[in-house]
């Protein structure tokens, strides 16, 4: 019978730190991996200081591979077959592995020998295995410098592993290792991409969304939940905070002159977001602002808007072109959701000619026209939260908001 892959061997990502940090990194990666593979209870896990092993126990490997590719902190992983540490068995098993894919290809054998008592050295093992595989197949030829296919042999004391297929991992740091941040999530293209990039740096996310019903629709809210569900593929569950923003927003419109109402509205959003972040132990805000994209994202506007708060704001797509952002949105499968036509609160209240060079003095004078502090506080207090899991979008929770 043909062999089947039994194990997955996982290599850790950018693990430059040592000591306790390294341990935290590995423990978190271990937890996150198990969480991502929760749908496969048959899997068995083992971790060492430089590797993690998963025993597939017959689980459908393609589905497991697809989920593993979303775990940040994994550099690469290989599918492996286990056999006893004995040269004859290693050779015959290697041949079986090589025959699993019969496309004509160049190849080489690479050996890692952690059992130093094994009679052959790594180079000798590689040479013997490669010779045996070549003699018994017709689809392979040797190229040690740029092989299309690498068959890896890992010789350990208790058992040996033969790895015939290697996949690239998601890279980055395990989600959570850097702490928690709050993503300002609109229904647009940019903010989900900003969220993905922030998570990749190891930041666990919660989402904040400003809703202005009845000006914004339930479908706009649904977009945000659907986008969150896509991002939950990388770390789940994710908490979504929805801010009832209508009253504050219409009050701004009533008191603030139209050229500055966008600037004031953004300052109010920042203030509410800062309050919700502090309440939920989020250490940063992150959003999809991109320099120069719209009036509120000129350097002058950013300056005046940022003045409203003191929490750090990370803007992962600040320097990217729209097309670069769209490429990532397509890759992470958020693009199609983002382009659904429902408007969010920013678009609906956009003035005809928003100021691109607001000054702090002018903006503060406008804000002095009304008592905004209690309205901001009310938004923070009345924000509703819901948990979103990967592959499971809950929708009823917001019924009373709309």
Nearest residue to ligand ATP, by Cβ distance, number only? 188
Q: For the chain, how many residues are written?
A: 402
Measuring CA to CA, which residue among 138, 133, 88 is closest to residue 110? 133
Q: Which residues bind ligand ATP (CB under 6 A)?
A: 184-186, 188-191, 208-210, 287-289, 293-294, 296-297, 344-346
Q: Which does 128 bind (CB under 5 to 8 A by kind): Mg ion, ligand ATP, none?
A: none
Minimum distance from CB of 233 to ligand ATP (Å)? 19
Q: Cβ closer to ligand ATP: 128 or 226?
A: 226
The tokens describing 62, both together, are: 């393609």
Helix or strand or coil: residue 250? helix
Q: Which does 345 bind (CB under 5 to 8 A by kind): Mg ion, ligand ATP, none?
A: ligand ATP
Q: Which does 190 bind (CB under 5 to 8 A by kind): Mg ion, ligand ATP, none?
A: ligand ATP
Which member of 188, 275, 316, 358 binds Mg ion (CB under 5 A)?
Answer: 188
Q: Find out whether 5 and 56 touch, Cβ atoms under 8 Å.
A: yes
The tokens describing 311, both together, are: 């929490």
In DSSP notation, 255-321 reads HS-HHHHHHHHHHHHHHHHHHHHHHTT--EEE----TTSSGGGSHHHHHHHHTT--S-EE-TTTT--
Q: Which does 43 bind (CB under 5 to 8 A by kind): Mg ion, ligand ATP, none?
A: none
Q: Candidates 39-47, 65-73, 179-187, 311-319 — which segment interacts with Mg ion by CB under 5 A?
A: 179-187
Residues 198-237, mask of contacts with Mg ion (x by CB under 5 A): ----------------------------------------
Nearest residue to Mg ion, by Cβ distance, number only? 188
Beta bridge partners of 386: 240
Q: Cβ closer to Mg ion: 186 or 383?
A: 186
Residue 94 buriedness (CB in 10 A; 0-12 / 13-18 / 19+): buried
Cα distance between residue 331 and residue 329, in whole Å: 5
Q: Cβ closer to Mg ion: 192 or 202?
A: 192
Which helix (H) or strand (E) segment holds residue 350: the answer is none
Minimum distance from CB of 134 to ligand ATP (Å)? 54
Which helix (H) or strand (E) segment holds residue 333: the answer is none
The tokens describing 349, both together, are: 């209240």
* Residue 297 in the binding site for Mg ion (CB under 5 A): no
Minimum distance from CB of 286 to ligand ATP (Å)? 8
Residues 355-384, mask of contacts with Mg ion (x by CB under 5 A): ------------------------------
Q: Which residues bind Mg ion (CB under 5 A)?
A: 186, 188
């Amino acid at each position: 019978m043909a062999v089947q892959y039994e194990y997955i061997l996982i290599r850790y990502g950018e693990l430059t730190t040592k000591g306790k940090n390294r341990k935290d990194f590995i423990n978190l990666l271990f937890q996150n991996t198990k969480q991502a593979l929760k749908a496969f209870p048959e899997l068995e896990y083992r971790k060492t200081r430089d590797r993690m092993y998963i025993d597939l126990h017959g689980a459908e490997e393609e589905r497991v591979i697809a989920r593993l590719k979303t775990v940040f902190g994994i550099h690469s992983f290989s599918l492996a077959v286990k056999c006893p540490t004995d040269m004859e068995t290693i050779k015959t098993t290697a041949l079986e592995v090589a025959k699993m894919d019969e496309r004509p290809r160049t190849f080489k054998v690479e050996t890692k020998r952690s059992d130093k008592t094994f009679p052959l050295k790594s180079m000798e093992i590689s040479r013997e295995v490669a010779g045996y595989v070549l003699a018994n197949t017709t689809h392979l030829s040797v190229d040690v410098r740029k092989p299309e296919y690498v068959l890896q042999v890992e010789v350990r004391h208790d058992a040996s592993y033969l790895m015939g297929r290697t996949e690239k991992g998601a890279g980055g740091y395990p989600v959570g290792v850097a702490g928690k941040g709050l993503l300002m999530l609109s229904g647009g293209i940019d903010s989900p991409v900003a969220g993905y990039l922030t998570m990749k740096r190891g930041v666990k996310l919660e989402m904040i969304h400003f809703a202005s019903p009845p000006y914004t629709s339930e479908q706009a809210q649904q977009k945000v939940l659907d986008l969150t569900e896509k991002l939950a593929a990388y770390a789940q569950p994710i908490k979504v905070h929805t801010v009832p923003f209508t009253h504050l927003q219409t009050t701004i419109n009533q008191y603030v002159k139209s050229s500055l109402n966008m600037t004031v509205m953004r300052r109010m959003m920042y203030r509410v977001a800062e309050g919700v972040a502090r309440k939920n132990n989020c250490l940063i805000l992150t959003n999809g602002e991109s320099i120069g994209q719209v009036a509120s994202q000129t350097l002058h506007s950013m300056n005046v808007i940022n003045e409203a708060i003191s929490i750090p704001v990370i803007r992962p797509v600040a320097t990217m072109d729209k097309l670069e952002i769209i490429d990532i949105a397509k890759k992470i499968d958020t693009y199609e959701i983002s382009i659904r036509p429902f408007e969010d609160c920013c678009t609906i209240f956009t003035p005809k000619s928003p100021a691109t060079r607001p000054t702090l003095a002018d903006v503060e004078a406008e804000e002095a026209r009304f008592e905004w502090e209690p309205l901001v506080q009310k938004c923070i207090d009345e924000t509703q939260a819901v948990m979103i899991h990967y592959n499971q979008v809950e929708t009823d929770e917001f019924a009373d908001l709309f």
